[in-house]
Amino acid sequence: MTDRRLVGHLRTLALVAAGGFAGANARYGVAVVLAGLPTGLVGTLAANVAGCVLLGFLLSLEDGAVSRRARLAVGTGFLSSFTTYSTFAVDTATSPPALALANVGANYALGFAGVALGRLLAREVSA
């Protein structure tokens, strides 16, 4: 690997790491803000749906509207840390069956709806 390629890989890692750091802290902020609610499921659902809207928006923008570096930092770094599949899985597995089923349904239905909303918003911005 050439020095130039190595530097490029290190830059990519740094962008993803910086985005991941910010996303993880934002996710913690959501948990703190929603801590008074009766279940942690709400915070996980809120973060996952918001992340779906934002990722749908980001990835649906016209080519060139957002740089490759910004997509890496925001999409791969920030949003991957902000949304949380592992917490969703644990919350679901440790919930009573009816609540677990509702949680799965809500995360998937609202997640897909969030992506659709993000895509629609990106088309509006790009028009």
From first to last of the 127 residues of the chain, give the pLDDT tens digit: 788 899 999 999 999 999 999 999 999 999 888 887 767 788 899 999 999 999 999 999 998 899 999 999 999 999 999 998 999 999 999 999 999 999 999 999 999 999 999 999 999 998 7
What was the pLDDT predicted at 36?
A: 79
What was the pLDDT predicted at 38?
A: 66
SS3 state of residue 104 = helix
Which residues make Cβ contacts (< 8 Å) with residue 104, sequence separation at least 6? 92
Residues 3-32 as b or e (16 or more Cβ within 10 Å = b)? eeeeeeeeebeebbeebbebbbebbeebbe
Which amino acid, 107? N
Please state the pTM of the whole predicted model. Answer: 0.89
What is the spatial distance between Cα 34 and Cα 87, in angstroms, rounded to a whole number?
A: 15
Distance of CA 48 to the CA centre of its chain: 6
